Amino acid sequence: MAPSLPPFAPFPETTWRDHMVPEEWEACLSLWVSLAEAHMALSDNEFLQLSAKDESIEGYLVPFMKETALSGITILGSSNTASLLLFQSYYLSSRLLRAPSTPTKLLQWEFLSDFSKVYGKESIGSTDLHLPEAEGYPRTFFTALKKSLIIALDTGIKGDLRIPEARLKHLNHLLHASPEAAELFLAGNRLP
């Protein structure tokens, strides 16, 4: 019988975090750490059957990376539990990114870029981050992003350059951390 684990609570946005008292925040950190450790303790088969299909993990990891990339790791606090959560979120993300059935939201460039910003090039390189080709990724996501950036940049000063500039700044973290992503994004005509 396959184990079952409770779902992850989503990582809160700044407005919610600001209303939490320190004891509540520490309790949330502890619960996320415990859940991440439980998922990491699963065998490979159990992890693929349970964790890779658990949508609540995406609901936690995507906002966790986004909020931490935007505001820095100091938003977690300075407790040992906060440090543990940072490490466990890295290991959980890395294991999911290496899984043959990686959740789609974790394959989008925004998540990968946030992940790259939070953990840096050295850490990302050690995850052996591969962008799976079998699922049409990353061509699909990068093609759409490239097309929108080309259109926005072609309009030049006639258009609003703040949006493509913000996207390029966001994307830069992923391109710096992953040579494979940089090659795919900068490949020119090789992308459909």
Residues 115 and 167 in one domain: yes
Residue closest to 12 by CA, chosen among 83, 84, 66, 88: 66
Residue identified by tokens 């990353």 is 138
Residues 151 and 181 in one domain: yes
Task: Tell me whether residue 3 is in a domain.
Answer: no
How far is residue 178's CA from residue 125's CA, in Å, rounded to a whole number?
7
Residues 26 and 42 in one domain: yes
Residues 44 and 91 in one domain: yes
Q: Give the model's pLDDT for residue 192.
A: 41
Residues 160 and 84 in one domain: no
How far is residue 89's CA from residue 112's CA, in Å, rounded to a whole number?
13
Which helix (H) or strand (E) segment is 123 a member of? Answer: helix 109-126
Q: Which residues span the domain enclosing 22?
A: 14-103
Task: Tell me whether residue 1 is in a domain.
Answer: no
Task: Tell me whether residue 6 is in a domain.
Answer: no
Residues 79 and 118 in one domain: no
Residues 98 and 32 in one domain: yes
Residues 47 and 89 in one domain: yes
CA triple 190-93-57, angle to 5 deg: 115
Task: Tell me whether residue 9 is in a domain.
Answer: no
Residue closest to 102 by CA, chosen among 55, 52, 39, 36: 52
Task: Tell me whether residue 99 is in a domain.
Answer: yes
| pLDDT average per 10 residues of sequence, the chain (192 residues) | 84 89 95 97 94 94 96 94 96 90 86 91 62 54 77 75 84 83 67 40
Residues 99 and 19 in one domain: yes
How far is residue 179's CA from residue 116's CA, in Å, rounded to a whole number?
12
Residues 78 and 140 in one domain: no
Task: Tell me whether residue 4 is in a domain.
Answer: no
Task: Tell me whether residue 141 is in a domain.
Answer: yes
| 39 neighbors 57 (Cβ within 8 angstroms) | yes
pTM for the full predicted model: 0.85
